[in-house]
Amino acid sequence: AHPVKNLPLVIGTMDGSRDSMPAGINFSHLGTYDSALSIFNDLSIAHPANSNAQQYAGMAYLSSHRYAKAIAAFDQLAQQKLFSNPALFYKAVTLLNRNEIGDKDAAKILLQQVKDQNLEGSKQAAEWLAGW
């Protein structure tokens, strides 16, 4: 079966955002990150408050090893006032994956902040910090 045909039916909106998000997620799962990023970036531009589009764009950049763009996406996400914001945790993960000079120290600072402020990812951050 074709993966796109297996997506759940989503009731469309006038702006198409609810139609596009599942397609972008599906492209990400298939590893076709450029197609996913096209959708997520279009949604982020059309709907700047759509934190899901920004989060998924950052994750697609991270998965495709485009670390600078992932960091920029997570920085943008971190500026949004959300009930639960995973941006700092994902930025730390990106830094750990990029592993350039200073990245581990910067990631450790972010993970400590995630843990101390009980942000999304705090349990994992605490585990990683305990084993540092």
d(CA 48, CA 54): 8
Residues 6+ apart with CB under 8 A from 100: none
**Where does 4-97 show beta strands of DSSP type E?**
none
The whole-number pLDDT of residue 18 equals 54
Phi-psi region of 49 (alpha: psi -120 to 50; beta: other; left: phi over 0): alpha
Question: Residue 77 has what pLDDT?
Answer: 95
pLDDT in tens, 45-93: 998 888 999 999 999 999 999 999 999 999 999 999 988 899 999 999 9
Both tokens of 103, joined, read 């990245």
